Amino acid sequence: QGKLVESGGGLVQAGGSLRLSCAASGRTFSGNAMGWFRQAPGKEREVVAAINWSGGDTFRAASVTGRFTISRDNAKNMMFLQMTRLKPEDTAVYYCAAREASDIEIRVAKYEYWGQGTQVTVSS
C-alpha cells in the first residue's frame, strides 16, 4: 500500500508564493502518473495540475497556467507544486494524488491514491 503526504501549505498574502511537496512512501510511484487537486468549501474537487510518470508530459488548469508549475523527482519519490502570484481564489485544500497508470490524467475518479490534503489560504 502506498501513502502520500502533502506539506508546504499555509497562509500567504495575495501575490505571494508557496511550494507544496508530496512525499510518497510504502511503494514507489516513479512509474505512475500523479496530480495536484484542490477543493474549496462548497465546491467540487478539481484538478490543478497533473504529470505523467517521467515528467515529460504535464497539464495545468487554465486558472493556474503561467503561475503554477508541477514537477516530480522520481529518485526521491516526490512531487512538487510551485505556486506563484497567488490569488484569494486559490484558497483551498490541496491534495496530492497518484494513479496506477503511467499516462497523464485530469479526472478525479481515475486516481486511486490520495493524500490527506494541505490547506492553502491566500489573503487579499
Strand pairing category for 46-51 and 34-39: antiparallel
On average, the pLDDT of the chain sits at 97
| Cβ count within 10 A of residue 17 | 12
Q: What separation in angstroms does the CA of 35 have from each of 12, 31, 117?
A: 22, 13, 12
| Length, in residues, of the chain | 124
| Cβ count within 10 A of residue 65 | 11
Residue 54 pLDDT: 96
Residue 1 pLDDT: 83
| For residue 3, pLDDT beyond 90 | yes
| Tens of pLDDT, residues 56-88 | 999 999 999 999 999 999 999 999 999 999 999
| Tens of pLDDT, residues 23-48 | 999 999 999 999 999 999 999 999 99
How far does Cα 80 stand from its chain's mean position? 7
The count of C-alpha atoms lying within 13 angstroms of the C-alpha of 119, restricted to the half-sphere facing its C-beta, is 5
**The CA-based dihedral angle spanning residues 46, 52, 54, 57, taken in that order and rounded to the nearest 10 degrees:** -90
The count of C-alpha atoms lying within 13 angstroms of the C-alpha of 105, restricted to the half-sphere facing its C-beta, is 17
d(CA 28, CA 7): 18
> C-alpha cell of 79?
512531487
| For residue 7, pLDDT beyond 90 | yes
